[in-house]
Amino acid sequence: MITTCQQMQQCEEAAFARGISAAELMDEAGRGIAAVVRQFAPRTGSLVLFLGKGNNAGDALVAARELLTDGWKVHARLCCEPAAMKELPRRHLQALSGHVRIIEDAIEFDFPPGPIVSLDGLLGIGAQGPMKLELELLAREMNALRSLRHAVTIAMDIPSGLNGDRGKACENAVVADITAVVAQIKAGLLADGADQHVGRIALVPLRELSSVQGDAQAAVLTPRLLRSWLPRRANDMHKGDAGRVGILAGSPGFLGAAELCCRGAIRAGAGLVTLIVREEVYPLIAARLPAEVMVQPVKDYREALDMDFDALAIGPGLGFAHEPQILEILSRLDLPVIVDADALTMISRHPEVMNEAAKLPRLMTPHPGEMARLLRHYPSWNGMSRRLLVESYISRSPGLTLLLKGTRTVIGTHRETTLFNSTGHPGMASGGMGDVLTGVCAAFAAQHVPLHQTAGLGAWLCGRAAERHLTLYHSAAESLGASDVTAHLGHALQDLKEGAF
């Protein structure tokens, strides 16, 4: 559920009226935040708590208590004397006396070699307006530690200085890499531009705050939502049951896109994957593909209309030399089709084809530039939020699912709940990621997963696979390549089944 801050506060008040104490909620929230740290920072190092006066500081201290047992060295930056803190955080700070080192300047402090993780415990969702000077100074210090020392910043519930309802950031608001959202997703975290401060969203559930009335027309992708969408394989399943995927991709100079798309389909569980290429491309690509991929050379792409597939992916590295053939397939083929890359550009040039294709089961996966080309005939849509743009576009296309890529991918289908992805990191800002996504989505579509759910599974899994590469190999985000994402799709699938953040 996506809520306003007021709705969340009312839910808390109702819990208190039922006899639930703030201390119980803080303890559960802190343990959940510690679990977030363990997932995204599995190597122990220096944990720096930036603490305000309120209960957000208490959540951070409970998390620190849990993480001490793992071997973290805990340091704290205080905005005030401990006596000025609220009762609960003051008690937790006293309980950790001797285990937490109070420091005066995190930038100048000589941390030992190893990971540095900052916990933003300055402000909670009740804060409004600009930060007080003492908190703003600590927020600036936290941001500087992230920039200069490459610390990982984890915000709790909401980055300090970000409005929880509108997503507007005040000056020097905390820039988080991960936001451990407590109980329910706050609307401001999903606003356009807020992702710069929010980063990766990890939902920490609280049992007593699970029943809240919010925006039921949108949802954030989490394993709790996604697990039931993932097909459970029967013991007697065979490759035909796992789906026949056809892929129209690749042209001279753009063979890697086709290869990545095929690898994505294989690693997402497709039973049979066939790459359809022009005869002149066949000798260039056949030897470089995984052994599991069949390659079908054709004189005319329209031969695919008579092939036996459960789903088709069209576009990665395809080129434009045979555009009329591709457009005919898009407007005629009555199968789930994943439309990406060059195929999207073709549709933007021929809106009449879009009118036909939108009546058929189609998943379009544009990045912002491709979306702009699709919308150039509709200037009235300029200035819309990403969510409103997606919802407006699909309202006129009943067969269409739209996955608008970006830092916070948005997915829409007519009469379905709008979905926001939570996974991924800036290392995915490199070529080929969309090609992998197209193959992954084709694999699920071929297993007869509805396209709306297909898009949600594909977006979450690709982002989680990218995260897995960093933690498993102690690798920097800058080194990530699209082929690394395909290599870790199996880990991402297992994380989904097991309920990772």
Cβ neighbours of residue 120 closer than 8 Å, sequence gap 6 or more: 50, 60, 139, 142, 153, 154, 155, 156, 159, 160, 174, 176
Confidence grade of residue 377 (pLDDT, cut at 50, 70, 90): confident
Q: Domain-by-domain residue ranges, the chain?
A: 2-216, 228-498
Dump pLDDT digits (tens) for 386-415: 999 999 999 988 889 999 999 999 999 999
Binding-site residue ranges: 257, 317, 367, 405-409, 434-435
The Cβ of residue 86 has, within 10 Å, a number of other Cβ atoms equal to 15
Binding-site residue ranges for (6S)-NADPHX: 257, 317, 367, 435
Q: What is the pLDDT of residue 383?
A: 83
pLDDT for 112 beyond 80: yes
Residue 421: name the closest of 226, 263, 266, 264 by CA.
226
Dump pLDDT digits (tens) for 149-174: 999 999 999 999 999 999 999 999 99
Q: What is the pLDDT of residue 205?
A: 95
**Largest Cα–Cα distance in the chain?**
79
Q: What is the pLDDT of residue 36?
A: 98
Block residue for tokens 């007021």: 6
* 427 DSSP assignment: G
CA dihedral 459, 460, 461, 464 (to 10 degrees): 120
pTM for the model: 0.97
Q: What is the pLDDT of residue 125?
A: 92
pLDDT for 382 beyond 80: no
Q: Percentage of the chain surpassing pLDDT 70?
A: 100
The whole-number average pLDDT for the span 197-207 is 97
Assign domain 228-498 to its CATH superfamily: Ribokinase (3.40.1190.20)
CA separation for the pair 67, 63 (Å, rounded) = 6
Beta bridge partner(s), residue 314:
248, 339
What is the enclosing helix (H) or strand (E) of 465?
helix 451-473
Dump pLDDT digits (tens) for 240-268: 999 999 999 999 999 999 999 999 999 99
Side-chain-side CA neighbours of 501 within 13 Å: the count stands at 24
- Return the minimum-mean-pLDDT range out of 64-68, 135-139, 207-211, 266-270: 207-211
CA separation for the pair 78, 76 (Å, rounded) = 6
Binding-site residue ranges for AMP: 405-409, 434
pLDDT for 1 beyond 80: no
Q: What are phi and psi of 313, to 5 degrees?
A: -115, 135
Q: What is the pLDDT of residue 324?
A: 97
Q: Percentage of the chain surpassing pLDDT 90?
A: 93
Confidence grade of residue 380 (pLDDT, cut at 50, 70, 90): confident
Query: Domain spanning 2-216: which CATH class is it, in words?
Result: alpha beta
Q: What is the pLDDT of residue 85?
A: 98
CA dihedral 100, 101, 102, 105 (to 10 degrees): -130
